[in-house]
Amino acid sequence: DGGITQSPKYLFRKEGQNVTLSCEQNLNHDAMYWYRQDPGQGLRLIYYSQIVNDFQKGDIAEGYSVSREKKESFPLTVTSAQKNPTAFYLCASSLGLAGAYNEQFFGPGTRLTVL
């Protein structure tokens, strides 16, 4: 799991601002994911990407955007359209999406707080 990094660890945002969370992996994984975690809740999928230049919406994509220009990188932008963005954001990666490659490895997370 040490092959996935996220930055920053803590992020403070004013209302109305867009912010971008970084996620990088050196595991040569094809699939990458973004999850949101709120207190007392499980992980909810925001976006995922199976290959470069392709990504799909997850269960709670509204107010978020992503890009996948490089295999190693999958940044998440939290836009001003996201009504309640304060949460712990986790990035993950896996060799592939289905079959034998489901094991997901998580980054250390970014805690976003809206002031």
CB closer to other proteins, 10 vs 53: 10
CB closer to other proteins, 100 vs 115: 100
Query: 78, 90, 112, 114: which one contacts other proteins (CB under 8 A)?
Result: 90
Q: Are the C-beta atoms of residues 30 and 11 closer than 8 Å to each other?
A: no
Binding mask 28-47 for other proteins (x = CB under 8 A): -----x------xxxxxx--
Please report the DSSP string for 65-93 in residue order: EE--SBTTB--EEE-TT-S---EEEEEEE
- Closest by CA to 84, choosing from 46, 47, 53, 112, is 112
Which residues form the interface with other proteins (CB under 8 A)? Answer: 1, 33, 40-45, 48, 58-59, 90, 96-99, 102-109
